[in-house]
Amino acid sequence: MRCKTRCALLGLGMAATLPVALAAPAATDPQPECTVEALADKLRATGATDLELVNLAIKTVASSYTHDSAWHLWETPAASLRSGRGWSHQYNTVLLLVLRQLGFHARMVQAARVRGFPHPWWYVGHAWVKVTINGRRYDACASRSSNRVGDVGFVPLTPEIRFRRVTRWAMGLGIAPFVVVAVWRAWLSGNPVPEWLYRRRSDG
């Protein structure tokens, strides 16, 4: 009986999720040629170094994203870059890879709770990049093109922990039910989907 119940719940979940995934907004300005390598080459050609180069990398990656989106959680970082939309674990993975291409030591971290974003109460976590410049470690985040090294627009409220490969899937699976419920609630009520779910960046 338990197996039948679980299978039924799984089937209902999939039936509710599929229409939401299919209805996800299409990219407004896709850039199929936009890749990590292309961004790194563009930045390398500027001749900038150290702090200036990392600041340019933050601005360039952030400007490549026109939308913040929790509606496309399944997309890889590379796909999110081409589509110009994503969540912190997508656009900041792109920033991480660009910085590594430029020769910086960088790694991803996350915190379960941060202050500074207009997210719903149930999702206040964030993932970002730690980059080492001349032996000193700084925060870097591509959530806004106005961000700079060490000035990322948010404050961690819980300890920083290492961002692991499995974390990407755990974050997506944790947020997905809320996304599905939010979209269905909007459809059934005739209201627009919440802004946190899919919004144009003001400075992207």
Q: What are phi and psi of 50, to 5 degrees?
A: 50, -130
Residues 6 or more apart whose CB falls under 8 angstroms from that of 43 comprise: 53, 56, 57, 60, 98, 102
The pairing of strands 198-200 and 85-86 is unpaired
Return d(Cα 157, Cα 32) in angstroms, integer.
37
| Predicted confidence pLDDT, tens digits, the chain (204 residues) | 466 555 544 455 566 788 888 888 888 888 888 999 999 999 999 999 999 999 999 999 999 999 999 999 889 999 999 999 999 999 999 999 999 999 999 999 999 888 888 766 666 789 999 999 999 999 999 999 999 999 999 999 999 999 887 777 777 777 788 888 989 999 999 999 998 889 999 875
pTM across the whole model: 0.88
